[in-house]
A and B are shown apart, each in its own frame.
Chain A
Amino acid sequence: MPGMHRHRLKRGARSSFQRVVQLCACALFNGYALGFQKGKIFKGPTKAACVPVLNCYSCPGALGACPIGSLQGALGGGKHGFPFYVLGTLALFGILLGRAVCGLLCPFGLVQDLLHKIPVPKFKVPGKIDRLARYIKYGVLLVLVVLLPAFALTEAGAYQPWFCKYLCPAGTLGGGIPLLLSNPALRQAAGALFSWKLLVLVLILAAACTVHRPFCKYLCPLGAFYALFNRFSFYQLQLDRSKCTGCKQCERACPMGVEITQELNGPECIRCGKCKAACPSKAISSNLAPSKTRDSLGHPEKK
């Protein structure tokens, strides 16, 4: 029993660590407190840098630029050449951290994590539907973020940020609602599009109360991009099979439904560390530079 108590304490400590990192990242990316008071956005030079997460640059507190908004702008109409700067920034975070960005740094991920704590009945999406629906985010990345902004131009030849305009819930939550609350002129201008975006936001937030991180699992184009790097990133989880008892507690604890023992660093793992905390035999570890003696699935390397 004392062992179980200690194990529960360890799980709590890991969850608190994740929460502290998430809150610090949220404060860091949205540190312009005056913006919320004045209803205006920050216009300083740090906005030339893309933050690694979905964080609308029209949020009054935002100190950096949203990479997805910037990518659509850079691709807009194909007038600006290849988007080296934005894609390079995204690839840098991808290769360093993979989807740890989603699990530890993303403010909208934090919002979904907190909503999932509300004590309402939880829903598990059936396996086959869940597996297929996870591909939607790659479609969102390809169609709404890349193809439509690059090629579907208005009659005047202007591009549209399709993802931001029609789907992004972070823009409505972090940018739209605070700006409309503090700016009467913008409130007057809000129409059908704002109602649509509000509906999308409400649906995603309501879903997040019952399903863990539905936006990250099924719709987020940034999660789709980082998923491509998950197997190669410097930051990796490792499973020591000599310690693993096959109890599957890690898989039961995983909020993303990853089969830990089969695909530990698969594209859906957000490196939140819940599996690590749940493992009673301490078989899972995380490392910035993967161990020399075990591969990412924990198989000992043959000399």
Chain B
Amino acid sequence: MKSRSMWGKVARIGMLAAALLSIGAGVAAGQHRDVLQKAVMVCLECIGIG
């Protein structure tokens, strides 16, 4: 039971690290700029026009 709990912690920390690495990789690839570019325009589909 103790080792299961330890593996749980390792899995959590691993997933946290993977998420942070993924964000870092996305920023390095300039994906945040794509998000910004889309988010500063009115999305006509989202509001039911386009």
Contacts and interface: CB of A to CB of B under 8 A. Distances in A.
Interface of A: 41-43, 45, 47-50, 56-58, 62, 64-66, 69-70, 73-74, 80-81, 83-89, 91-92, 94-96, 160-161, 164-165, 168, 171-172, 175-176, 179-180, 186, 189-191, 193-194, 196-198, 229, 232-234, 290, 292, 295, 299, 301-303
Contact of A84 (B23, B36, B39, B40): B23
A254 B48 CA distance: 34
Chain B interface main SS type: helix
Interface string B21-45: 1111111010111111011101111
11 contacts: A45-B36, A48-B32, A56-B43, A57-B43, A66-B46, A85-B29, A88-B25, A171-B46, A175-B43, A232-B8, A302-B2
Given A81-B29, A172-B47, A197-B48, A73 B23 contact: no
A91 B18 contact: yes
A76 B25 CA distance: 19
Contacts of B24: 88
B15 A74 contact: no
B27 A91 contact: no
Contacts of B12: 95, 232-234
A85 B35 contact: yes
A301 B22 CA distance: 34
Central interface residue in A165, A198, A302, by most chain B CB within 10 Å: A165
A164 B38 CA distance: 13
